[in-house]
Amino acid sequence: MAATAIPLETIPSIDPATGKVLAQVARTSAAEVPKIVERARTAQAAWAAMPIGQRCAQLRLLRERMMASRDVLADAVVAESGKPRVEALFADIFVALDTAGYFAKNGARLLQPERVPHHSTAGKAKSGRLVYDPVGVIGIISSWNYPLAIPLSQIIPAVAAGNAVVCKTSDFTPQCGALIEKLFADSGFPKNLVTVIQGGGEVGQSLIDAAPDKIMFTGSVATGRHVAEACAKKLIPSVLELGGKDAMIVLADANLEVAASGAVWGSYTNCGQVCLSVERLFVEQSIEEKFLALCVEKTKKLRLGPGGDPATDLGPLIRQQHVQRMSGLLDDAVARGARILCGGKPRPDLGPNFFEPTVIAGLDSAMKLFQEETFGPILAVRSVKDAEEAIALANDSSFALAASVWTKDTSRGQSIAGRLRAGAVMVNDTISYFAIAEAPHGGCGASGWGRTHGKAGLLEMVHPKYIDVDRLPGAEKPWWYRYGADLERAADSFLRFEFGGGLTEKLRNMRGALKTMFRNHGL
């Protein structure tokens, strides 16, 4: 397809199934971003003063608007990401609706002030409580693979907590980004409270340069490092979700039919363009041959095509360079001794970005397929002698986002899950915890830091503030000036009373300890 000149002031919305430009969306000027952040600050001050119950009620209106607009939203997701429509409904629309419903119902409860009891004798004359203040303006730099679910699962709790949001959605999905801003406007949220900015890396950099109060980033490790460095220079806290290399462990006692179906879906859903996709599968040797045969059989039945076709199981990859990368990863593995059992080729006859779902076996940890994030439709399998080897190999990765364990013995599955280095582990399922509103999402190592979703994600949107009230406001405190030898002896008696051993020790030092409470300060 011949390249066409695209004006710098717009972003093309491209159908990855055909490569055709669907529309042009206005690009945000990097110079305008500081003004957008300042307008968000003004809107946030009034929004934060609103009772949280009222803010959550507004989220119910947002949910109603999303539900009424679900067909338009799903059409946009399919058009710009290429995924099958059923995946747009389940993975994008459902997650967005459920997030709005969850925080509308539970936001006030999750952020209600908490009493802080004091265990020490010195603290008994005080009462403490913990309250949660909004961060202020949160900058979100989001991804294209779930162009509604990812940004909305962060924007919604941010506004529930009293923040304003400036969100840079992906330049691969600009129409989806525009629809997000429209949803909030049409639902009656204050002007400038939620603003979507459009553009590439230069706009993301300008957002950080504008110094919002926090940055939440979803994307690659390489870009995440740049984001972390830019934030660190300005002491802006950040949450980074940088992807994964998720392990799936299939034990000999697993239901192989179910596990193979889970492996195929977990590797190929959204054409494998999922941070939580199955990218390293470890199967016990005794069942490897049968399990691989099932995976190949199920993979060969999948239908490639445009996302708008109801018969389609797998849509295209997002861009041509991703197709080339799949071929490169497979070539490296085959050159090192791996075996492609099915698939493994681009499908230009279907469109510029289609790639066959692939099952490849005989891998080892030195291959790029076991080192780098794949982000494509490749089911990579390695045989292990037992669960212990599987655990060791699963943990041998710089990534630590999620994992799964497949076994009929639930207790054993939970035990293995507890030993895996990951932010989440599923037993006999994969990926779907992302759609559970209460479940936190995030990892460590090369997978980033911080959490989104659930209460843990909500607490990323606030500053915890401790408030202390003295119960004896008319009394000077024992530890105040003036110091002297008498106070030193009394302080030592208090330490022995508070932390010494046994009742006898406490009684022996009680009188001296009380001198810290009743003394003439002499000031």
Catalytic sites, residue numbers: 241, 275
Which candidate, 245, 273, 265, 284, places its Cα nearest to that of 402?
A: 245
The strand pair at 126-134 and 462-470 is best described as antiparallel
Q: From CA 95, how far away is CA 93, in angstroms rounded? A: 6
Are 110 and 437 in contact by the 8 Å Cβ rule? The answer is no
What are the C-alpha distances in Å from 444 to residues 2, 274, 365, 448, 457? 43, 17, 20, 5, 15
Q: Which residues have a Cβ under 8 Å from the Cβ of 422 and sit 6 or more positions away?
A: 246, 247, 400, 401, 402, 403, 443
Q: What is the phi/psi pair of residue 342, to 5°?
A: -165, 155
* Strand ranges of the sheet holding 424-427, from the earlier edge strand across to the other edge: 339-342, 358-361, 378-384, 278-284, 246-250, 402-406, 424-427
User: What is the H or E stretch that residue 128 is in?
Assistant: strand 126-134
Q: From CA 48, how far away is CA 106, in angstroms rounded? A: 17
Whether omega for the bond prior to residue 63 falls within 30 degrees of 0, making it cis, is: no
* Count of CB atoms situated within 10 Å of the CB of 179: 22
* Strand ranges of the sheet holding 114-116, from the earlier edge strand across to the other edge: 114-116, 126-134, 462-470
* Cα angle, residue 461 at apex, residues 456 and 463 outer, rounded to 5°: 100
Q: From CA 173, how far away is CA 156, in angstroms rounded? A: 19
